């Protein structure tokens, strides 16, 4: 399938990153959100991140100008349905994703491919509510999108080969690497990563170590570039908790029980970097452990 235009639903951290790399790769991008401030902020962030690439000489000023010229924004969700491929990158809540695909449905072109950037929700279940489960799949980018090289491609039970090959071709055009995952809870990366963060929360909860000792142990003892609690703050503790619930509900195994301390932080609104407090306090010049 020939893909020229891409619609991105959601202008948050993932959505603006996806719009960035798609525009830089030559695709016409239509970025949608329910909030004009979010759209304006996304365009400003893309411009800033592209400028950073220019300063590092990984792209030229002309490349940046061309990419910015390919990005359009809209508050009207039906407008996105006119693109060749839609990437849903909204909040990690299944009911919201269903509402988005339900709203897009009546306006879609016959051959438009639908995809979701979900990090854990069943692709088969999302696809089953649409009129094109064979042209629906998971298109899971890693954060931050312009930097991370992996994209998980997840086929639902009905996804056809042409849809998979089309999305694989897009990943290759982006210069990224695809990992094919089966449609099981949290796929590959988060099936392994998020339980590790949850286990670090248990180590903190049980007093095995404090925040600094746990993160330093994994950075220096396992050569991880970022400690698990610091990484949880970066991802968003609400997102980590949501994925743990998906794993626990979907696999019915007690090893995926969310740590009560993780739940408490989310209930407090301490979600990590985006709220300035999580396992670290980010309100000063240097992050300070909160436990």
Q: Under CATH, what is the fold of the domain 5-182?
A: Rossmann fold (3.40.50)
Binding-site residues, please?
10-15, 33, 92, 97, 119, 143, 274
Name which of 118, 132, 86 is nearest 187 in CA terms.
118
Query: Which tokens go with 184?
Result: 């099981």
Mean pLDDT of 29-47: 97
Taking the CA of residue 62 as centre, how many other CA atoms within 13 Å lie in the half-sphere pointing to its CB?
A: 0
Q: Architecture of 191-289 per CATH?
A: Orthogonal Bundle (1.10)
Pairing of the two strands 28-32 and 71-74? parallel
Angle between helices 228-235 and 189-205 (to 10 degrees): 120
229-278 pLDDT tens trace: 999 999 999 999 999 999 999 999 999 999 999 999 999 999 999 999 99
84-136 pLDDT tens trace: 999 999 988 899 999 999 999 999 999 999 999 998 899 999 999 999 999 99
Q: What are the structural domain ranges in the chain?
A: 5-182, 191-289
Catalytic residues: 119, 140, 152, 190
Query: Which tokens go with 63?
Result: 């490349």
Angle between helices 237-251 and 228-235 (to 10 degrees): 100
pTM check: above 0.95: no
Q: Which residues pair with 178 in a beta bridge?
A: 151
What local confidence, expressed as pLDDT, does residue 91 receive? Answer: 87
Residue identified by tokens 């609690």 is: 229
Binding-site residues for NAD(+), please?
10-15, 33, 92, 97, 119, 143, 274
Cβ burial 41-61 (10 Å sphere, 16+ → b, else e): ebbebbeebbeebeeeeebee
Name which of 7, 238, 39 is nearest 104 in CA terms.
7
What gap in Å lies between CA 103 and CA 4, rounded to an integer? 22
Mean pLDDT of 65-72: 98
For residue 75, what are the CA distances in angstroms to 21, 33, 37, 233, 271? 21, 6, 11, 30, 27
Model confidence at 1, in pLDDT bands (50, 70, 90)?
A: confident
186-240 pLDDT tens trace: 999 999 999 999 999 999 999 999 999 999 999 999 999 999 999 999 999 999 9
């Amino acid at each position: 399938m020939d893909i020229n235009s891409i619609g991105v639903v959601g202008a948050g951290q993932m959505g603006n990153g996806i719009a960035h790399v798609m525009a830089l790769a030559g695709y016409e991008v239509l970025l949608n959100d329910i909030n004009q401030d979010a759209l304006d902020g996304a365009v400003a962030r893309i411009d800033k991140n592209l400028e950073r690439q220019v300063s590092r000489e990984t792209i030229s000023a002309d490349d940046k100008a061309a990419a910015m010229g390919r990005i359009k924004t809209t508050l009207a969700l039906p407008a996105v349905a006119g693109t060749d491929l839609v990437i849903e990158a909204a909040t990690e809540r299944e009911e919201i994703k269903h509402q988005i695909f339900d709203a897009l449905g009546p306006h879609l072109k016959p051959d438009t491919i639908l995809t979701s950037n979900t990090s854990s929700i069943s692709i088969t279940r999302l696809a089953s509510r649409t009129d094109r489960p064979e042209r629906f799949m998971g298109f899971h980018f890693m954060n931050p999108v312009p930097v991370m090289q992996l994209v998980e491609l997840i086929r639902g039970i009905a996804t056809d080969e042409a849809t998979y090959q089309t999305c694989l071709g897009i990943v290759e055009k982006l210069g990224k690497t695809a990992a094919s995952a089966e449609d099981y809870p949290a796929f590959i990366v988060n099936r392994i990563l998020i339980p590790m963060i949850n286990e670090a929360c248990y180590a903190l909860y049980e007093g095995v170590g404090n925040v600094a000792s746990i993160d330093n142990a994994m950075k220096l003892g396992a050569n991880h570039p970022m400690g698990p609690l610091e990484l949880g703050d970066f991802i968003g503790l609400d997102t980590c908790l949501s994925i743990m619930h998906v794993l626990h509900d979907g696999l019915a195994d007690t090893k995926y029980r969310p740590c009560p301390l993780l739940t408490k932080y989310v209930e407090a609104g301490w979600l990590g970097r985006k709220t300035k407090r999580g396992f670290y306090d980010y309100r000063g010049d240097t992050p300070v452990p909160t436990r």
